[in-house]
């Protein structure tokens, strides 16, 4: 690890009470750091004095920056970017482990292929098994619609979305846990969008990066993703309630920014129409099973609350208001109901 103006790479990690994970992550980087010079930058979104003592002791050249509070993923990455000196930048999650020479392979590819502006990493678990991910932006958009979970509906949605044609490995969506790009590319597209608090900011950035060059996943660039829990992830799982409010708000923000008002309104119409349909389905199911019509309406009520909260943000989304789209504590319905 070196610190000078000739550095190949700046590695930026956002911390939120994940010091133990970061220590493991940094040790994994060190294990496979042959062939390139780099600096380590951690942006701390929840600084606790002394919590990083072992990390800064083991990695004395590391830049540990207190963000002053939870400023979100995008703003933290931009803060790290403004304090970096490398020509190339790797945005890496705290809950990751580098395996083999993935960073070197990604860096070497980007240096040798000028048509490409960013490289992503393929996620695996601790046993080396591939983890699912959205291979393109259309794959994410398809899942945002809440329709009957039948193949015919999934195929219909994909048919209505723009055609995506990519060569093997190429994509327009990189998973935010591992994105290697250049400062030049980031400057061209305007860095991370700071309206995002958490989720979908990687899809939105990927969309902009894909307009100035190619994005790709490489078979020799893999990393372990531990996928730690956080307070904004969903805790209730059902087909209609499979997204938390923060996740869905961030997705709506991405759709508005990347595709415009009409696709956003179509999604809102889907959710509004779903509310009465979900109740009718519940009534029918209860009566057909010999139960009282209003028996066990937990999922229906949860969806009602989520849609009402999301509707509160519709004006700001429609008019592309510049704001920090972070839900209020009382709007985190999944956590309240856990």
Task: Give the global pTM.
Answer: 0.93
Q: Which of 176, 5, 13 is nearest to 80 (CA)?
A: 13
Q: Does residue 336 carry a pLDDT above 90?
A: no
Mean pLDDT check: name the lowest of 80-84, 107-111, 167-171, 177-181. 167-171
Question: What are the tens digits of pLDDT across the range 151-198?
Answer: 898 888 988 898 888 998 899 999 999 999 999 999 999 999 999 999
Percent of the chain predicted with pLDDT > 70:
94
- C-alpha dihedral over 179, 182, 187, 189, to 10 degrees? -50
Looking at domain 9-225, what is its CATH homologous superfamily? Spore Coat Polysaccharide Biosynthesis Protein SpsA; Chain A (3.90.550.10)
Domain boundaries, the chain: 9-225, 245-336
Question: What are the tens digits of pLDDT across the range 130-158?
Answer: 999 999 999 999 999 998 888 898 888 98
* pLDDT confidence bin for 3, thresholds 50/70/90: very low
Percent of the chain predicted with pLDDT > 90:
85
């Amino acid at each position: 690890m070196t610190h000078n103006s000739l550095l190949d790479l700046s590695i930026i990690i956002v911390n939120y009470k994940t010091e133990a994970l970061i220590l493991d992550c940094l040790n994994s980087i060190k294990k496979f750091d042959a062939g390139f010079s780099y600096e380590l930058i951690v942006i701390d979104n929840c600084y606790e004095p002394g919590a990083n003592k072992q990390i800064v002791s083991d990695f004395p050249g590391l830049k540990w920056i207190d963000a002053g509070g939870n400023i979100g993923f995008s703003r933290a990455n931009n803060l790290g970017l403004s304090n970096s000196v490398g020509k190339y930048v790797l945005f890496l999650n705290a809950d990751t482990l580098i395996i083999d020479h993935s960073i070197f392979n990604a860096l070497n590819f980007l240096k040798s292929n000028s048509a490409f502006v960013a490289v992503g990493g393929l996620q695996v678990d601790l046993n080396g098994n591939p983890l699912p991910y959205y291979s393109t932006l259309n794959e994410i958009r398809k899942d945002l619609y809440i329709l009957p979970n039948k193949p015919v509906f999934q195929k219909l949605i994909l048919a209505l979305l723009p055609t995506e044609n990519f060569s093997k490995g190429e994509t327009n969506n990189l998973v935010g846990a591992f994105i290697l790009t250049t400062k030049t590319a980031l400057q061209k597209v305007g860095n991370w969008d700071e309206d995002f608090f958490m989720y979908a900011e990687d899809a939105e950035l990927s969309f902009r990066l894909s307009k100035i060059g190619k994005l790709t996943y490489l078979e020799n660039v893999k990393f372990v993703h531990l996928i730690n829990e956080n307070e904004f992830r969903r805790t209730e799982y059902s087909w209609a309630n499979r997204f938390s409010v923060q996740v869905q708000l961030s997705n709506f923000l991405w759709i508005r920014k990347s595709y415009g008002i009409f696709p956003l309104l179509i999604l809102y119409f889907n959710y509004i129409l779903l509310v009465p349909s979900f109740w009718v389905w519940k009534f029918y199911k209860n009566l057909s099973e010999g139960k009282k019509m209003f028996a066990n309406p937990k999922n229906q009520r949860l969806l009602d609350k989520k849609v009402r909260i999301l509707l509160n943000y519709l004006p700001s989304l429609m008019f592309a208001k510049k704001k920090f789209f972070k839900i209020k504590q009382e709007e985190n319905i999944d956590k309240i109901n856990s």
